[in-house]
Amino acid sequence: MVVLTSCSHRGVINTVRQAVAASGVDKVLAVIGGFHVVPPLGDDYINKTIEEFRAIDPKYLIVGHCTGDRFYDLARAALGDKVIHSAVGTRLVFGAN
Ligand SMILES: [Fe+2]
């Protein structure tokens, strides 16, 4: 499953969990969108979000829009290359094997 979050004002982890619950699919390949982890949300919230993503274990976290630079920096440091920045014009291609 690929979760497109739009602008995650209700919490990006809540969004992913709801997608899993609604679909019945528990393997998340990618989460794409605005994660909205911006001030006043601070490092504690960011680190909890990163740990939740570590547990969900998507192959890709593709962040853009309102995700927040601090979240990107900390997530990239914690989770490595699975965290990818996107912007207007980014082309994403997923294939089935
Ligand atoms: Fe947002």
Say what the pTM is. 0.93
- Give 10 Cα–ligand 1 centroid separation in angstroms: 9
- Give 78 Cα–ligand 1 centroid separation in angstroms: 22
- Give 5 Cα–ligand 1 centroid separation in angstroms: 10
SS3 41: coil
The answer to whether position 47 is within a domain reads yes
Model confidence pLDDT, tens digit, residues 22-61: 999 999 999 999 999 999 999 999 999 999 999 999 999 9
- Give 7 Cα–ligand 1 centroid separation in angstroms: 4
Model confidence pLDDT, tens digit, residues 13-23: 999 999 999 99
| Number of domains making up the chain | 1
Print the domain residue range for 7: 2-85
Encoding tokens for residue 80?
A: 């490595």
Beta bridge partners of residue 32, listed in sequence order: 4, 62
- Give 41 Cα–ligand 1 centroid separation in angstroms: 12
The answer to whether position 92 is within a domain reads no
